[in-house]
Amino acid sequence: MNQDYIKPDNWSIIEEGFYAERVKSSESLFSIGNGAMGQRANFEEHYSGDTFQGSYIAGVYYPDKTRVGWWKNGYPEYFAKVLNAPNWIGINVLINGQQLDLNTCKSVDDFKRELNMKEGWLSRTFKATLPNDVKIKVAVKRFLSLDLDEVGAINYEVTPLNTDAEIIFQPYIDASITNEDTNWDDKFWDATSVNYEGHQAFIEAKTMKTNFHTCTFMESKVCINNKAVFVDQNIENTANYVSFSYAYSVKKGDNYSIQKFGGYTVDRNHNANTLVKAAKHALKKATKKGFFQMLEDQKNAWLNIWEMADITIEGDVKAQQGIRFNIFQLNQTYLGKDSRLNIGPKGFTGEKYGGSTYWDTEAYCIPFYMATKDQKVARALLEYRYNHLEKAIENAEKLGFTNGAALYPMVTMNGEECHNEWEITFEEIHRNGAIAYAIFNYHRFTGDYSYIPEKGLEVLIAIARFWQQRATFSTDKNKYVILGVTGPNEYENNVNNNWYTNYLAKWCIDYAVENIDKIAAEYPEDFTRIINKVRLSDTEIQKWKAVASNMYFPYSEKHHVYLQQDGFIDKELITVENLPKSERPINQKWSWDRILRSPYIKQADTLQGFYFFEDKFTNEELERHFDFYEPFTVHESSLSPCVHSIQAAKLDRMEQAYTFYLRTSRLDLDDYNCEVHEGLHITSMAGTWMSIVEGFGGMRIKDGKLSFMPKIPKQWKGYSFKINFRNHIIKVNVTQEQTYFEMLCGEQLEILFNNKALVLESNVLKAVS
């Protein structure tokens, strides 16, 4: 809705000037999170303008009712909804009895918001003239602690500028919240206790149905000119709300401030009966350190993350800001500390997509986490799916599959499917392939094969079983076909023989068989254990092979391309270029049938296959398919531009690669899809990382070796990134002239540079070109 108002800056997201119409967009863009919780950048003080309140706790969701209108067998009972959690950031500010509300001030000047990504904090400063003509200066800083991840801290300072004034701070916690996306004004939280003691307050609340127990807490202290003062404290409370009042007669020019600590303890980490105790413990640790020491710790914690994850771009501030914003938001969302959690498409920045796990994790996020964190993190993401295997088998059984075939859910919180559009839930089955692919990708990158005999093979077998059963034999084609699917391009539904799906299905079976053979030979004990557990016979494997070896792939002899699906070339093949701008984005302008019969592609579909399996195709083939499909691609999925950027770079089309790079990296900052007010596109941000590292850097794993074929957009002086490859940390720095490799950690390693061997030594900078 509000595009292009973020100031270019290398390390910060900065907004200047107060515009009510930008508030919801900025609330998304300035979101903060620490992996355990996160929140939109809502104001602490009351705001009566248009706002989208959101504070979210990792792993806390609600199963909303789905049963309305027409029902189809096999639909899940509910769809998961990420829940807006009780508000702990609120601080009402009264100046001579007048509520501070930016929506009603006579003027708001020098308004500036900054999200400092380097140090992990959000600040806001402004001057305001209230309706009662008191003029004040306000400075607020807030962060969610990485170290104490149950706690956030706020320092809120007010200085009256034109008069003495009685200022009241009313910090509060409030569990009477609901969701913006609630259909019927449902209540999702049940507050079970409200307690306060000294300057601390606690509300225990549990979610309806899912019974997640939480304690929302706060503790505050006030200062004059940075010195603590004792102030009479008034308390107000209801069954789901507590506020304290700290009134002080502040002299003109004096700085009256409140430091508020707050957050959540949850029963995922504590016994449900000890949440208040745990909250007190967290508050004790936080207040003992104090706001400023915590802020120092925060800077250091982010320094550690950036140390490994940063990507620098020289000579292009917008590009630099974009990639850092992406890396920052990914780390705010998921740090890999808890294998019960995953990466929702909107992270902690909005309600859409229900905060759930999609195939985005396997297809887009795992490469980022593999290369920028310890490999345990990626392994934890694989284990998340292993732990859901039984439920994936149950899910397949609901759809008529047997014998341990698994269909992983399209959207899930706990392993159960929780989405109910039939064309997605039942038919967008390629997701199953991405889960197998992630296992392959993890092994390829980390070299850690142990995961496959330990856990991965069971997943691969269950997935292979699914594909064998899902394919049917066409006597007309004398081939196996896969009918009635939705590919990655969700602008096609219920199509036959989506090339990507068919290709992935065949690959999944082949890969399962390859691993069965390897484990039979090399891990006989694991082999026996698994085969006995899943009761896999040679006869069954032969059935799989029959399908994999005789799969149908739609192909156009006329265009020399694999067809996205049967019948694709019967469409009116008018390219996006020839589509009036006024008709776009088509998902906001066109009815669904019109989208479906159009040739327009939401995100890489055939090209997603070329991305996953690029070794299987020549550059000429890639080019032909890219040139055929990209002109019909509207990139209305956030997951689209990154894949195209990588492929354009591979094809040496650097202008196009650069355009796609900006689109993926600044998708939210520049609000390409006119929806940033709903929240950020977190999972696609990992795609942005890939578009630099794999796209421009040309990073691949070739025969177990790390390989680079760097390219650089002409707009850039240089760029650099680091890769954690099998416990070697390698810094890659690409300039217009040369590429520099430096191994910051690890023993000697042979890599490939432009397909030639290059040996890296510990802490030796190598320049090559």
Binding-site members are 359-360, 602-603
Residue choice 474, 550, 659, 715 for contact with a second copy (CB under 8 A)? 474
Using rule CB under 8 A, residue 675 touches a second copy: no
Using rule CB under 8 A, residue 460 touches a second copy: no
Dihedral of alpha carbons 610, 615, 619, 624, sign: negative
**Would you say 137 or 624 has its CB closer to a second copy?**
624
Using rule CB under 8 A, residue 421 touches a second copy: yes
In the numeric block, the tokens 């504070």 are attached to 55
- The CA-atom distances, in angstroms, between 687 and each of 35, 263, 616, 690 are 19, 31, 22, 5
Using rule CB under 8 A, residue 527 touches a second copy: no
Structure tokens at 502: 């068919």
**Would you say 129 or 496 has its CB closer to a second copy?**
496
Residues 475 to 494 in contact with a second copy, rule: CB under 8 A? 475-477, 481, 483-484, 493-494
Residue choice 7, 65, 187, 702 for contact with a second copy (CB under 8 A)? 65
Q: How far apart are the first and last CA of the chain?
A: 44
**Would you say 596 or 701 has its CB closer to a second copy?**
596
**Would you say 393 or 669 has its CB closer to a second copy?**
393
Do 55 and 86 contact (CB within 8 A), yes or no?
yes
Residue choice 399, 520, 576, 622 for contact with a second copy (CB under 8 A)? 399
- Residue 632 sits at the vertex; the CA angle it makes with 626 and 637, to the nearest 5 degrees, is 95
Fill in the per-residue mask, 73 to 102: x = in contact with a second copy (CB under 8 A), - = not in contact: xx----x-----------------------
- Residue 524 sits at the vertex; the CA angle it makes with 518 and 526, to the nearest 5 degrees, is 90
Query: How many whole angstroms separate alpha carbon 593 and alpha carbon 591?
Result: 6
Query: Which candidate, 312, 32, 283, places its Cα nearest to that of 173?
Result: 283
Region from 238-246, 517-525, 568-576, 760-768 binding a second copy, contact rule CB under 8 A: 568-576
Read off the amino acid at residue 373: K
DSSP state letters, 372-436? HS-HHHHHHHHHHHHHTHHHHHHHHHHTT--TT-----SSBSSSSB----HHHHTT-TTHHHHHH
**Would you say 105 or 410 has its CB closer to a second copy?**
410
Dihedral of alpha carbons 422, 426, 428, 434, sign: positive
Query: Which candidate, 367, 283, 343, 374, places its Cα nearest to that of 726?
Result: 374
In the numeric block, the tokens 């705001």 are attached to 47
Pairing of strands 749-753, 705-708: parallel
Minimum distance from residue 260 beta carbon to a second copy (Å): 37
**Would you say 398 or 766 has its CB closer to a second copy?**
398
Read off the amino acid at residue 407: L
Q: 233 has which bridge partners? A: 246
Read off the amino acid at residue 247: A
Minimum distance from residue 192 beta carbon to a second copy (Å): 25
Query: How many whole angstroms separate alpha carbon 643 and alpha carbon 630?
Result: 11
Minimum distance from residue 497 beta carbon to a second copy (Å): 8
Minimum distance from residue 410 beta carbon to a second copy (Å): 12
Query: How many whole angstroms separate alpha carbon 192 and alpha carbon 645?
Result: 51
Classify burial at 93, counting beta carbons within 10 Å of its beta carbon; exposed 0-12, middle 13-18, buried 19 or more: buried
**Would you say 475 or 755 has its CB closer to a second copy?**
475
Convert 2-37 to b/e letters by CB count within 10 Å (16 or more is b). beebbeebebbbbbeebeeebbbbbbbbbbbbbbbb
Using rule CB under 8 A, residue 356 touches a second copy: no
Using rule CB under 8 A, residue 414 touches a second copy: no
Using rule CB under 8 A, residue 575 touches a second copy: no
- The CB-side HSE value for 305 (13 A sphere, CA atoms) comes to 25
Region from 103-111, 135-143, 261-269, 586-594 binding a second copy, contact rule CB under 8 A: 586-594
Is 490 known to be catalytic?
A: yes
Using rule CB under 8 A, residue 550 touches a second copy: no
Residues 170 to 189 in contact with a second copy, rule: CB under 8 A? 183-184
Using rule CB under 8 A, residue 615 touches a second copy: no
Residue choice 108, 513, 534, 596 for contact with a second copy (CB under 8 A)? 596
Q: Applying CB under 8 A, what is the total number of residues that bind a second copy?
A: 53
Residue choice 569, 622, 729, 744 for contact with a second copy (CB under 8 A)? 569
Using rule CB under 8 A, residue 394 touches a second copy: no
Percent helix / strand / coil, the chain, rounded to 5: 35, 25, 35
In the numeric block, the tokens 């694709």 are attached to 568
Residue choice 229, 304, 592, 727 for contact with a second copy (CB under 8 A)? 592
**Would you say 476 or 615 has its CB closer to a second copy?**
476
Minimum distance from residue 564 beta carbon to a second copy (Å): 13
Residue choice 7, 72, 560, 702 for contact with a second copy (CB under 8 A)? 72
Minimum distance from residue 396 beta carbon to a second copy (Å): 10
Minimum distance from residue 764 beta carbon to a second copy (Å): 55
Minimum distance from residue 422 beta carbon to a second copy (Å): 5
Distance of CA 544 to the CA centre of its chain: 35
Query: Which candidate, 58, 104, 66, places its Cα nearest to that of 82?
Result: 58
Q: Which residues sit in the known binding site for substrate?
A: 359-360, 602-603
Q: Which candidate in 351, 458, 490, 630 is catalytic? A: 490
Instruction: Count CB neighbours of 91 within 10 A.
Output: 24
Do 1 and 24 contact (CB within 8 A), yes or no?
yes
Using rule CB under 8 A, residue 422 touches a second copy: yes
Structure tokens at 185: 């004004």
Minimum distance from residue 64 beta carbon to a second copy (Å): 8
Catalytic residues: 490
Residues that bind a second copy (CB under 8 A): 64-70, 72-74, 79, 183-184, 398-400, 420-423, 426-427, 472-477, 481, 483-484, 493-496, 558, 566-567, 569-573, 587-594, 596-597
